[in-house]
């Protein structure tokens, strides 16, 4: 049995209660938070704003608050933990080769999530995006993964958003033709990115380079794409080997 500390700090307790609600329920409104905590709406708003500031929460367009990057990290499944561990050394090689920030991304429905980032050493660089979530159709890694879906899978994924499907099909067709996806300041001013999906019939992740737009040059795309493809191939090779090793029926997994 847990006893309440004799000198409990109410604001900390309230913030932790909201974190637990976000973990369990996924979202909460200001009025719901105020009612839960028994505080004024203005107090609930300030608490949620601080959680947003520290990446525990994000506010949607409907003004409700949802799990932020920090809480998304807490929900990683074993497969993503394996993916991260396998990818890290290859991301470091990619950074050493290009001197730009590298990311590993996965798709969750219509969203793309950064699993891990390895920053480059340049003074002007794109920082750590680990845990952040972006619309898949805008993020380079999300586009690379969407481009591997069939038209039927894509239509099912974006059901109810049929008005935007023709444009999305055109965008993804271009990704398939050139072999990589681009995000030129679509998700963040001053940041551009290029990505490729891991090879295979059902890729689980994509590798991207995030580059300050001031240093982004189209003539470097072939070189960046080549480096990304090599990294993605190496990650997939080692990931397949790690999965075989971990299988209960594998001689190595016994």
Tell me the two tokens of residue 183: 């995000």
Give tens-digit pLDDT for 222-246: 999 999 999 999 999 999 999 888 6
Q: Mean of the pLDDT values across residues 66-70? A: 81
Domains contained in the chain, CATH given = 10-72 (1.10.10.10), 78-246 (3.30.450.40)
Give tens-digit pLDDT for 111-168: 898 989 999 999 999 998 887 888 999 999 999 999 999 999 998 998 887 668 889 9
Q: Mean of the pLDDT values across residues 7-13? A: 78
Beta partners for residue 207, in sequence order: 104, 196
pLDDT at residue 254 in the model? 45
Give tens-digit pLDDT for 169-205: 999 999 999 999 999 999 999 999 999 999 988 888 9
Helices 10-25 & 41-53 angle (0-180, nearest 10): 70
**Most confident of the ranges 17-26, 34-43, 63-72, 75-84:** 34-43
Number of Cα atoms under 13 Å in the Cβ half of residue 42 = 0
Contact assessment for residue 16 and residue 37, using Cβ atoms and an 8 Å cutoff? no
Cα distances from 221 to residues 84, 117, 207, 244, in angstroms, run: 25, 20, 14, 34
Helices (H), the chain: 10-25, 30-37, 41-53, 69-73, 78-98, 140-146, 151-157, 165-178, 221-246
pLDDT at residue 248 in the model? 58
Pairing mode, if any, of strands 111-118 and 101-108?
A: antiparallel
Residue 211 has phi, psi (to 5 degrees) of -130, 135
pLDDT at residue 20 in the model? 85
Distance between CA atoms of residues 166 and 113, nearest Å: 24
Kindly report the three-state secondary structure assignment for every residue of 117-173. EECCCCCCCCCCCCCCEEECCCCHHHHHHHCCCCHHHHHHHCCCCHHHHHHHHHHHH
């Amino acid at each position: 049995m847990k006893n309440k500390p004799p000198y409990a700090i109410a604001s900390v307790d309230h913030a932790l209660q909201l974190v637990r609600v976000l973990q369990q329920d996924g979202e909460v409104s200001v009025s719901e938070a105020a009612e839960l905590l028994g505080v004024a709406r203005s107090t609930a708003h300030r608490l949620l704003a601080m959680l947003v500031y520290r990446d525990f929460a994000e506010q949607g367009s409907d003004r409700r608050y949802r799990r932020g990057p920090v809480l998304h990290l807490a929900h990683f499944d074993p497969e993503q933990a394996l993916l991260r561990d396998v990818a890290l050394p290859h991301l470091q090689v990619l950074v050493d080769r290009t001197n730009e920030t590298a990311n590993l991304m996965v798709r969750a429905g219509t969203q793309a999530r950064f699993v891990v980032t390895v920053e480059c050493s340049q003074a002007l660089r794109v920082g750590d995006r680990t845990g952040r979530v972006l619309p898949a159709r805008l993020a380079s890694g999300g586009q690379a993964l969407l481009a591997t879906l069939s038209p039927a899978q894509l239509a099912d994924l974006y059901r109810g958003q049929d008005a935007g499907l023709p444009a999305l099909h055109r965008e993804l067709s271009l990704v398939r033709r050139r072999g990589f996806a681009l995000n030129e300041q679509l998700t963040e001013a001053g940041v551009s990115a290029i990505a490729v999906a891991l090879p295979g019939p059902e890729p689980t992740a994509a590798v991207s380079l995030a580059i300050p737009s001031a240093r982004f040059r189209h003539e470097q795309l072939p070189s960046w794409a080549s480096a990304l493809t090599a990294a993605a191939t190496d990650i997939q090779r080692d990931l397949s080997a790690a999965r075989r090793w971990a299988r209960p029926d594998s001689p190595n997994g016994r």
